[in-house]
Amino acid sequence: MNKIIIVLFLFLSVLQVNGQSVSIDSTINNKNIQFKYKSLIIPTALIGYGVVGLVSPALKDINRSTKNEFRDHDDKKVNWDDYAQYSPLLSVYALNALGIQGKNNFKDRTIVLATAYLLMGGSVNIIKKTSKVTRPDGADIRSFPSGHTATAFMGAEFLYQEYKDVSDWYGVTGYLVAAGTGLFRMSNEKHWLTDVAAGAGIGILSTKIAYWIHPLIKKTIFNDKINGTIMPFYNQGAYGVGLSMTF
């Protein structure tokens, strides 16, 4: 039963975010930027749930019961989440390579992605160092929030924003992959439910802010000549995304 609740809880972000009339657009077509605060409801609610869970006995009990239910039904750990976290953001570049054009060109979408990644990564690492929550498997005290989940939901929102005018299903698919990443983090006993919820909120919010401030970033930092590539990497047990840009 808990697993069904968790899936619905995470999938709610898909339905609600895609149901919002969010107007966070690039200036690539000289459109005015209109930021609607309603678009912050879901990510802030997810972050709030995670933060409250740090002190709430009731939410801590839900964390423990969720962990026990995964342990009762999962016999072995699968590291699918190490790769899936990057799938939504890489899909944007893959779709463009296949000729399915999104909202922005390489330059604009890469600036947005880099901004979102800096916001997300910086927030997650700072909070991890200050919260000092022990992981479900006891490996360390960097459980809160979930970085994998934050990366996945950051990419899912990125995919949605780039392709919502083509089809909402691209965004829905990205969010399903992101939700699956969060579920695997719990199944592998790397994170509590509150970690995953907060990570999802941070990821979504980081991308929304990146689109919001994109015109300012583009105008003040970047010129009109920019080229680059983006690809995942693996180095001595560490996974990540490499970004190479020339100006």
CA 145, CA 43: separation in Å to the nearest integer? 13
pTM: 0.79
The contacts of residue 220 (CB under 8 Å, 6+ apart) are none
Tell me if 106 is assigned to some domain: yes
At 220, the pLDDT band (50, 70, 90 cuts) reads: confident
Domain holding 100: CATH number? Answer: 1.20.144
Tell me if 242 is assigned to some domain: no
Q: Is the pLDDT of residue 55 over 90?
A: yes
Q: Is the pLDDT of residue 133 over 80?
A: yes
Percent of the chain with pLDDT over 70: 74
How high is the pLDDT of residue 221?
79
β pairing state of 227-235 and 238-246: antiparallel
Tell me if 238 is assigned to some domain: no
Alpha helix (H) ranges present in the chain?
2-19, 41-52, 57-73, 80-84, 87-97, 106-131, 147-163, 168-187, 193-220
Judged by average pLDDT, the poorest of 7-11, 139-143, 162-166, 187-191 is 7-11
Mean pLDDT of the chain: 82
Strand partners, 11: none
Tell me if 240 is assigned to some domain: no
Per residue in 103-131, pLDDT tens?
A: 999 999 999 999 999 999 999 999 999 99
Tell me if 203 is assigned to some domain: yes
CA 206, CA 155: separation in Å to the nearest integer? 10
- Total tally of structural domains belonging to the chain: 1
How high is the pLDDT of residue 22?
37
Tell me if 244 is assigned to some domain: no
Tell me if 226 is assigned to some domain: no
Tell me if 247 is assigned to some domain: no
Q: What is the DSSP code string of 40-92?
A: GHHHHHHHHHHHHTTT-HHHHHHHHHHHHHHHHH--S--THHHHHTTHHHHHH
Closest C-alpha to 110, from 216, 10, 210: 210
Give the residue numbers spanning the domain of 35.
Answer: 2-221
CA 134, CA 141: separation in Å to the nearest integer? 4
